[in-house]
Structure 1
Amino acid sequence: MNIEHLNAKYGISGQLKFIEGKGRLPMIRVSSSKASALISIHAGQVLSFQPAGEPDDLMFLSEKAYYQVGKAIKGGAPICWPWFGSDPEELGRPGHGFVRNRLWNVVKTEITTNGDLSITLGLVDTPETQVIWPHAFSLTQEITIGDTLNLELVTRNTGTESFFITQAFHTYFRVGNIHQAVVLGLEGHEYIDKVDSSRQKKQVGAVAINTEVDRIYLDVLNKLVIEDIALKRRIQITSSGNKTAVVWNPWKEIAVEMADLQDMDYQHLLCVETTNAATDVITVTPNNECRLVANYRIIRD
C-alpha cells in the first residue's frame, strides 16, 4: 500500500493520518479532540484506543507482538472470522480464521455529524480465500472513534448459496493487576470450560481470574463490565448480534510458552470477547448480511 496515496485519498487533516508502522505495515493514526487510536490495516485491527484525558490505554498490546504478513498481532482487537477457534471442518486451516493475518482494504474515512471519526475497512473473496473457504463474501469493519470505541463487523453473502460463520472481536483489555480485576454481568450464566474438557458449568458470582481461564459463556446479556480496581476504572462492553461471550487469560505457564508475550503479561491483560461461538452459529443467506457490534466505554466514578 502506498502511504502517500492513502493520505491523499483518505487522510483527514490534523486528525487521521496513514503511517508506516512496525514491520513496515500500513497503519492509521488517529488524534482527535475526543481520542487517540492506532489501527493496523494489516488484520483490520484496532491496536490502541485512549479517550482524551484518560491516563491509560483501553487495550493491551504486547511489546513482543509480531508485525509481519501472515502473523496475527498479539493485542488490541483481533478479528476472528469466518470461524472462531479451531478449524470447524478439521482441514488443517488456521485457528480463528484467515482475516486476522492479511491486509485489508481502506473503504472510507469520514467525520460523523457528532465529530467522531469513522473508518471502514473491508475484504472480499479472492481466488486465494476461495481455496481456504469456498464462499463469495464481502466483509467490512466499521470503526468509530469518539468518546467510546465502536466496532461493527458486517458479513454479506455475495454468492448463491448460504454459508455459516462463527466470529469474534477477540479484544485484549489492559488491566492494572489481574488479581484485582473481575467481570460483571455473567453471574448465573452457563459456560463451556475449555480448560476442563469443555465441561458445561454455571458461573457463581463475578468472574475472577486466579488461574488459566478459557470459557465460552452462553445466552449472555448485551452489557458486561470489567471492574479494574488497580486502574480505578470500569470498562463497559455493550454488544449486539451475539449470544455468547468468551473470557480468556492464558495465566503464567502458557504466557511463558508464547513467543509473542512477555512472561508477566498475563497479569495485565484480560480478553472479554464479543462472539458468535459454540452453538451460536450464524447462517447468512445469499444477498443478506449479519452484523456483530461491540462498543467499549471507560467509566470512572
Structure 2
Amino acid sequence: MTITRVAGNGGLPMINVSNDHADAVISVYAGQVLSFTPKGAADVLFVSDKAYYAEGKAIKGGVPICWPWFGADPEGKGRPAHGFMRNRMWSDWETRENADGSTTVILGVESSPETLAIWPHAFRLAMEVTVGKTLQLALVTRNTGDAAFTITQAMHTYFAVGDIAQTTVTGLEGTQYLDKAADGNGATKQQGGAISIASEVDRVYLGVPAELAIVDGALNRTIRITSSGNKTAVVWNPWAKIAAGMADLQDDDYTRFVCVETTNAADDVVSIPAGAEFRLVAEYGV
C-alpha cells in the first residue's frame, strides 16, 4: 500500500492511494473522491477535463458532497444550491491500512464561526473512503450541538460510461419518481423498465431498494451500487443543451457519464438528535 499527499490541479491537496486492489485519487478540498480504478480496469468515476480546481468552485465529477441540503436552499435565503461542503477545504483526519488489504482515508469538517453564520448548527462531518476491491463511502454527520437538526444530502456521483446511448440503470423498475426535468409540479411518475437516457434526465426516485446497477454496453461492464441510510436516489444527465451551457463540461461530455446519486432528498429528510450521528453509506463495485 502506498499513500502519497501531493499538490494536484490548481495546487489543491490530493491524496493518492494505491494498493493491491485499486488506485484512487481523493481531493482534500471538498472531501471528494475523484478517481477509483480497480487493478486492470477502467476508472469507475468521471471527471470533466474542464473541471474547475479553485477554492470556492465545485469540481465537476467524481463524488461531490451535497450537505446539509440537497438542491435549492430549503429556507430560501439565497444560500448556494447543494449546501456549502463541495466548495471548501476539508481536513485530512486519518489514514489506515486494513486487514483485507484495503485502505481507509477519513476527511472531515467541524463547525466554525464561518459555517455557523451560514447554517446555525454545531456539527462534525466525516467522509470515510475505503479503497479496496470496491469503493466504500460513508458520509457521517454528528450533531455536536444541544438541539436536534435536520438535513438532506447526497453523494452526487458521476459514473464513467463508454456511451450513454448503450447504458441503462437497473433496479428502479416500478419505483415512483419526481421528474424535475419535466415540470417540477410535485406529481410522481412510475418507472417502467430499466432507465435508458436519450434526453435530459433529472429524477428523484422514492422508496428505492438497496441495490442498483449501471449496465454499460460500450465498456462491457456493470457497476453495482449498494447503499444504506437512504430512501431516495437521484438519476441525472444534463444532455446536450444544458451540457453545452456549462463552462466546466465539454459539449459532448454528457455522453460519457451518468449520475446515480445516493441521497436523502425530497421528503427523505433526516433528523439528527443532539449528540447523535447519522451514516449515509454507498459502495461501488464492478
Q: Same fold (TM over 0.5)?
A: yes
How far does the alpha carbon of each residue in 1:246-290 deviate from its partner, in whole angstroms, 9 at most, with x for none?
A: 000000000000000000000001000000000000000000010
How far does the alpha carbon of each residue in 1:164-222 deviate from its partner, in whole angstroms, 9 at most, with x for none?
A: 00000000000000000000000000000001122310000001100000000000000
Point out 4+ residue stretches in structure 1 off by more than 4 angstroms: none
Aligned to 1:244: 232
Confirm or deny that 1:168 pairs with 2:154: yes
User: What pairs with 1:133-148 in structure 2 (closer than 5 Å)?
Assistant: 133-148=119-134
1:255 is paired with a residue of what secondary structure? helix
Letter in 1 for 2:241: E
User: Does the Cα contact within 8 Å between 2:19 and 2:101 map onto a contact in 1?
Assistant: no
How far does the alpha carbon of each residue in 1:229-253 deviate from its partner, in whole angstroms, 9 at most, with x for none?
A: 0000000000000000000000000
Aligned to 1:226: 214
Mapped to 1, the partners of 2:88 and 2:262 lie a distance apart of 21
Unaligned runs of 5+ in 1: 1-13
1:28 is paired with a residue of what secondary structure? strand
User: What pairs with 1:137-286 in structure 2 (closer than 5 Å)?
Assistant: 137-198=123-184, 199-286=187-274
User: What pairs with 1:5-84 in structure 2 (closer than 5 Å)?
Assistant: 15-54=2-41, 56-84=42-70
Mapped to 1, the partners of 2:86 and 2:177 lie a distance apart of 26
Mapped to 2, the partners of 1:196 and 1:257 lie a distance apart of 19
Q: Which moved more, 1:173-182 or 1:197-206?
A: 197-206
1:43 is paired with a residue of what secondary structure? coil
Please report the TM-score for the alignment, with normalisation by the length of structure 2. Answer: 0.99
2:174 is paired with a residue of what secondary structure? coil
User: Does the Cα contact within 8 Å between 2:36 and 2:135 map onto a contact in 1?
Assistant: yes
Q: CA deviation at 1:53?
A: 1.2
- Please report the RMSD computed on the Cα atoms of aligned residues, expressed in angstroms: 0.6
Letter in 1 for 2:20: S
Q: CA deviation at 1:31?
A: 1.6
Mapped to 2, the partners of 1:107 and 1:60 lie a distance apart of 25
Mapped to 1, the partners of 2:140 and 2:27 lie a distance apart of 18
Mapped to 2, the partners of 1:32 and 1:118 lie a distance apart of 11
How far does the alpha carbon of each residue in 1:7-65 deviate from its partner, in whole angstroms, 9 at most, with x for none?
A: xxxxxxx61000000000000011212111111000000000000111x1100100000
Match of 2:72 among 61, 83, 86: 86
Mapped to 2, the partners of 1:83 and 1:89 lie a distance apart of 10
Mapped to 1, the partners of 2:43 and 2:108 lie a distance apart of 25
User: Does the Cα contact within 8 Å between 2:167 and 2:197 map onto a contact in 1?
Assistant: yes
Aligned to 1:95: 81
1:93 is paired with a residue of what secondary structure? coil
The aligned length equals 284
2:121 is paired with a residue of what secondary structure? coil
Letter in 1 for 2:3: L
Mapped to 2, the partners of 1:196 and 1:247 lie a distance apart of 14
How far does the alpha carbon of each residue in 1:111-146 deviate from its partner, in whole angstroms, 9 at most, with x for none?
A: 011110000111000000001000000000110000
2:255 is paired with a residue of what secondary structure? helix
Please report the TM-score for the alignment, with normalisation by the length of structure 1. Answer: 0.94
